[in-house]
Amino acid sequence: MKKKVLALVLAAAMASSMATSVSVFAEAEAATATVADLPAEAQFEPNADYDEYTVVEYTIEDIQADLVCTVSTNKDHTEFYLECNFYGDDQMTKTTYDGKEYTVEEDKTGFMKGDTPAILDKALEQNIWVPIGDAAASDDAAATDGAAEIKGVTEDKLPAEPQFEANKDYDKWTVVEYTIEDIQADLVCTVSAKEDNSEFYLECNFYGDDQMTKTTYDGKEYTVEEDKTGFMKGDTPAILDKAIEQDLWVYFDNGADAAEATDDAAATDGAATAADLPAEAQFEPNKDYDEYTVVEYTIEDIQADLVCTVSTNKDHTEFYLECNFYGDDQMTKTTYDGKEYTVEEDKTGFMKGDTPAILDKALEQNIWVPIEK
């Protein structure tokens, strides 16, 4: 009887183990990525004896040594080949994994055995695997077939949605999530930068005030040249450090933009229709413009709910807004330079204050229906 129970337990354990292996394999297969998705540029070529690889940024905390590791692995993640450089010495470990425990089989210098499990844990956790060799070539060919080469990343790879437009006087931009710890204030910053990171333009909102800093960088020290409110000078270096460390830059006027433009073109083969709008329009769009949307908006202090029709030109530099508030038809005409709205006309004089927030919401929801002429 005992033998029969033991056999059943062993069978169940084997079934569970097989299910786990299948699950791990499926996750690894589903997570196929491209080089552009990696958190940093690889400092070592992946090992062609394996199926896929990733890049892991890792810090040895007690000595504050920052590593950029290339981790190659087989499809089922039972074996890993890790390479990095530490203080001028090339490191390599070869490790097996049974799903619970890592066994370091080889350690080139004898230095990395202790940190290897944590690095491999991070590799599995971030789950960004690029195919090696023929598979990679095939993926690259499919990705670049008829498309522009992408420099940097596309906007969907950023850690958060930007709250400010990037500054087009610069070469690239990113979004940084940052917390001012002593007052637990969470910021979402748009950071525009020169190609060589010698100058940064940062914008965010803190407790209702728009913040801006302009900063130069010599590779060692930041110098805040401008600080719009005088509040952000102290935190700016830490935010810029984070921007450089995460290294997720969207470039202006290059392959990334071209790819997005291609996506936009494909999407506007399927431009939005009236059925896609969040509410039925209460005003006809203005035919002097190219496209329109509908925005639902609440004036919070008086709890007034509006349904606004917003007409605009293709480049969103001018907006024509109409809505009804307490029985009065409202209209504003507004220009936009990418940073600031200027209300040129306000039919009743009532809507000037709320118009920028309504237009922000229109741009954020990004559902534009072509206007029939």
Q: What is the pLDDT of residues 315-343, one digit of tens each?
A: 999 999 999 987 899 999 999 998 899 99
* DSSP category for residue 321: E
- Rounded to whole angstroms, the Cα distance separating 144 from 226 reads 41
- Rounded to whole angstroms, the Cα distance separating 209 from 228 reads 10
Neighbours of 362 (CB within 10 A): 24
Q: Determine the residue type at 232.
A: M
Q: What is the pLDDT of residues 182-194, one digit of tens each?
A: 888 899 999 999 9
Phi, psi of 10 (to 5 degrees): -60, -40
pLDDT at 128: 94
Q: Which of 207, 202, 199, 142 is nearest to 180 (CA)?
A: 207
pLDDT at 6: 36
Give mean pLDDT, residues 156-162. Answer: 90
Which stretch of 46-55, 151-160, 195-204, 243-252 has the lowest confidence by average pLDDT? Answer: 151-160
pLDDT at 149: 55
Give mean pLDDT, residues 171-198. Answer: 93
Mean residue pLDDT across the chain: 84
pLDDT at 64: 87
Give mean pLDDT, residues 302-312. Answer: 93
Name the burial class of residue 113, with classes exposed (0-12), middle (13-18) and buried (19+) by CB atoms within 10 angstroms of its CB: middle
For residue 309, is pLDDT > 90? yes
pLDDT at 143: 47
pLDDT at 252: 84
Question: When comparing pLDDT for 181 and 225, which is higher?
Answer: 225
Scan for tokens 């905390």, then name that residue: 61
Name the burial class of residue 326, with classes exposed (0-12), middle (13-18) and buried (19+) by CB atoms within 10 angstroms of its CB: exposed
For residue 270, is pLDDT > 70? no
Q: What is the pLDDT of residues 79-111, one digit of tens each?
A: 999 999 987 889 999 999 999 999 999 999 998
Residues 6+ apart with CB under 8 A from 290: 312, 313, 314, 370, 371
Phi, psi of 9 (to 5 degrees): -65, -45
**Banded model confidence at residue 200, pLDDT cuts 50, 70, 90:** very high
Q: Tell me the CB-side half-sphere exposure of residue 119, using CA atoms within 13 A.
A: 31
Beta-bridged to residue 212, according to DSSP, are 203
* DSSP category for residue 294: E
Q: Is the pTM of this model over 0.85?
A: no
Q: Which of 164, 175, 16 is nearest to 99 (CA)?
A: 16
Q: What is the pLDDT of residues 41-69, one digit of tens each?
A: 999 999 999 999 999 999 998 888 899 99
pLDDT at 28: 40
**Banded model confidence at residue 272, pLDDT cuts 50, 70, 90:** confident
Residues 6+ apart with CB under 8 A from 127: 27, 28, 31
Q: What is the pLDDT of residues 229-258, one digit of tens each?
A: 999 999 999 999 999 999 999 998 654 444
For residue 266, is pLDDT > 80? no
pLDDT at 80: 97
pLDDT at 150: 64
